[in-house]
Amino acid sequence: MHEWAKWTDVSEEVQTAFDDDHPVLALESTIITHGMGYPQNLETAQLVEQAVRDEGVTPVTVAIMDGRIKVGLAHSELKRLAAEGSSAIKTSRRDIPFVLAGGGVGGTTVAATMIIAAEANIRVFATGGIGGVHRGAEDSMDVSADLEELARTDVAVVCAGPKSILDIGRTLEYLETRGVAVAGYQTGELPAFYCRESGYDVDYRVNSAEEIARAMNIKWSLGLRGGMIIANPVPAEFAMDKGRVEEIIEQAEAEAEEIGIGGKNLTPFLLQRIGELSGGESQQANVGLILNNASLGAQIARDYHSLYNTRP
């Protein structure tokens, strides 16, 4: 018997939404702890939560604080998490028991947020970009746990595609092997985080939140386990040039290799260096795409809730 409730705190706002049968949307917290510096991370987190509320949906920011799983954060907790920044533990599936046992503070990755959302019966989750197969993975075997979680956990993930630093072709192959569909929202081409184009097609083009909600319901009602990816391109006004992004990534990767950075520290390092090398342009893109994903995620959560509410 699972004991998630023993380790979990639900915020007052989220508990009210559950009690009132109100739609909710999960949000991750490594964006806050490892995605950008303070106070921009706090300002962005607040803007993202407000974007969800503006769609008539309750935001559920997930994190671990003081050895407790947090399903929704009060304002004071959100502020504290933002101030902790990268001193918080980047928490994926493998890390959850150790962060809880140590009474620590953790920013939850896509994988960890999916797990916690599913346990709280939250079926839609919005993030920036997903992890995937890293470039050079044929030697390093560096594959994000996000991909395995998408294969086994029943949560739809709204994102701007895989992060630009990844081997996108191999990431798509891995997802296909594990039976994870990649749907493009109003696009037939997979977006690549900072860029609206990647050169790769999505599995399906979907044109409305309701269409996505129907596919979610059919998938899980058939007993087809696992999540799905809703790839939502970064808004055009924030998109970066694909060629320029590639040049910056190559430089950042060369620096990471030179100083020996790898594993769970690689992605935060690369994103930080890309921000520095792009003169802050990548951070603007990051904020723009996160807000865009939160709005679409809220619309999907609202439609799924109204059509197929399954909360007991």
Instruction: Give me the active site residues, please.
Output: 28, 163
CA dist 62 and 288 (Å) reads 21
Find the radius of gyration of the CA atoms of the chain: 18
Question: 58-65 and 106-108: which strand pairing?
Answer: antiparallel
Q: DSSP for 66-113?
A: TTEEEES--HHHHHHHHHHGGGSEEE-GGGHHHHHHTT--EEE-HHHH
Burial (0-12, 13-18, 19+ Cβ within 10 Å), 304:
buried
* Length in residues, the chain: 312
Phi, psi of 160 (to 5 degrees): -95, 35
Tokens of 201: 């097609």
Three-class SS state of 161: coil
Asked whether the beta carbons of 162 and 194 are under 8 A apart, the reply is no
Is residue 271 a contact partner of residue 285, using CB atoms and an 8 Å limit?
A: no
| Start-end of H helices in 260-312 | 266-277, 281-308
CA dist list (Å): 239 to 15, 83, 157, 197, 243? 37, 28, 21, 9, 12
**b/e map of 179-211 (b: 16 or more CB within 10 Å)?**
ebbbbbbebebbbbbbbbebebebbeebeebbb
Cis ω before 39 (30° cut-off from 0): yes
